[in-house]
């Protein structure tokens, strides 16, 4: 089956012509959702994808990512967990393309990871459904890492962490990261993981205290400034993993969806907890997840 996809994030537009799980053609631009005004999305999509629409008049069209957010083409209400391909296909939101043809926005998911808590996911749910994990824990690592629990081939619940964004804020806009120097020494990453592990349990002093302590260690001469940036990364990553294990238990293995460099950090950090990690390619997972959703949609 051939279908057309717009993977539309905050900063990038990526279009694909796909047959089953193979990309036949693709296009990308910097016309992400944040760069567009209301009413501009249809024109951007047609500019990049009209040739595929003309060549494949019967191909389903899916739109995934922030295109369904409040800032996107049309806001697609979140479906609720637990959810698999069937529930997501039922919640697709139609948009007009041209000449009566429809595209369908994948809605994203809402869950309550703990009593009184709320979390949302938009885009990563499609990757997770294509990761080939029926039962187990997945980490989609990125600016806002998502830890997703799969049960019976459906997304049971998930939890999002601010790790990447917090690191960027500390490095670029905070007195905490200001003393950091380059080239950095990656030994600092392990030092940060050590601090995060010591901070777990009843004897922890709290992440906020440890963050200021990192600056204090540098300005007092107890930590080299070239260790600071990786230390902060290790501390935040370690705290994220502490939180995920507290929420989801301690599995024997975790599937990581990330580019290799980022995935390697998680593989290393999880190994310190005695947890094996299997790395899978996010793009292949996206294609497989889209294929599952489109098959479900066309079968309805």
87: left (phi over 0), alpha (psi -120 to 50) or beta: alpha
pLDDT in tens, 257-294: 999 999 999 999 999 999 999 999 999 999 999 999 99
d(CA 296, CA 88): 9
pTM equals: 0.92
Model pLDDT, residue 89: 93
Tens digit of each residue's pLDDT (9 = 90 or more) over 140-155: 999 999 999 999 999 9
CA–CA gap between residue 123 and residue 109 (Å, rounded): 9
157/109 Cα distance (integer angstroms) = 9
Packed helices 225-248 and 260-271: angle between N→C axes, nearest 10 degrees: 70
Please calculate the CA angle 284-111-205 and round it to the nearest 5 degrees. 95
Q: Which long-range contacts (CB under 8 A, 24 or more apart) does 84-89 make?
A: 84/129, 84/152, 84/153, 84/154, 84/155, 85/129, 85/292, 85/293, 85/295, 85/296, 86/296, 87/154, 88/125, 88/126, 88/129, 88/293, 88/296, 89/293, 89/296, 89/297, 89/300
Q: Which domains are present in the chain?
A: 2-132+283-299 (3.30.420.300), 163-280 (3.30.420.310)
pLDDT score, position 300: 64
Task: Please tell me the predicted confidence (pLDDT) of residue 40.
Answer: 96
Cα gap 14→7, rounded to integer Å: 5
Summarize pLDDT for 178-232 with one digit per residue, the tens: 999 999 999 999 999 999 999 987 778 999 999 999 999 999 999 999 999 999 9
The tokens describing 49, both together, are 């994808």
Closest of 224, 228, 221 to residue 174, by C-alpha:
228
Strands 154-160 and 253-257: unpaired
Please check whether residue 229 is in contact with residue 190, taking contact to mean a CB–CB distance below 8 angstroms: no
pLDDT in tens, 15-57: 999 999 999 999 999 999 999 999 999 999 999 999 999 999 9
- What is the tens place of the pLDDT at every residue in 75-117? 999 999 999 999 999 999 999 999 999 999 999 999 987 788 8
Record the tokens describing residue 242, joined without a space.
């502490």
Q: What percent of the chain has a predicted confidence (pLDDT) above 70?
A: 100
Helix (H) or strand (E) run with residue 236 in it: helix 225-248
């Amino acid at each position: 089956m051939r279908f057309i996809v717009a993977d539309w994030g905050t900063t990038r537009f990526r279009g694909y012509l796909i047959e089953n799980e193979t990309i036949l053609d693709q296009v990308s631009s910097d016309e992400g959702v944040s760069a567009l005004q209301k009413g501009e999305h249809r024109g951007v999509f047609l500019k990049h994808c009209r040739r595929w629409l003309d060549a494949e008049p019967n191909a389903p069209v899916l739109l995934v990512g922030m295109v369904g957010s409040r800032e996107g083409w049309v806001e697609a209400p979140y479906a609720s967990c637990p959810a698999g391909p069937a529930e997501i296909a039922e919640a697709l939101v139609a948009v007009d393309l041209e000449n009566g043809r429809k595209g369908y926005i994948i809605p994203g998911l809402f869950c309550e990871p703990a009593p009184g808590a709320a979390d949302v996911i938009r885009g990563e749910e499609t990757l997770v459904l294509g990761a080939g994990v029926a039962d187990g824990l997945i980490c989609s690592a990125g600016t806002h890492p998502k830890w997703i629990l799969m049960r019976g081939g459906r997304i049971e619940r998930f939890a999002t962490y601010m790790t990447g964004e917090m690191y960027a804020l500390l490095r670029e806009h905070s007195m905490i990261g200001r003393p950091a120097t380059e080239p950095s020494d990656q030994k600092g990453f392990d030092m940060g993981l050590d601090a995060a592990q010591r901070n777990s349990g009843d004897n922890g002093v709290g992440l906020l205290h440890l963050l200021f302590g990192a600056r204090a260690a540098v300005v007092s001469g107890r930590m080299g400034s070239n260790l600071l940036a990786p230390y902060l990364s290790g501390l935040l990553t370690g705290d994220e993993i502490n939180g995920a294990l507290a929420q989801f238990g301690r599995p024997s293995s975790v599937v990581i969806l990330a580019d290799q460099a980022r995935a390697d950090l998680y593989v290393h950090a999880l190994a310190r907890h005695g947890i094996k990690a299997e790395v899978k390619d996010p793009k292949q997972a996206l294609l497989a997840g889209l294929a599952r959703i489109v098959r479900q949609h066309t079968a309805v």
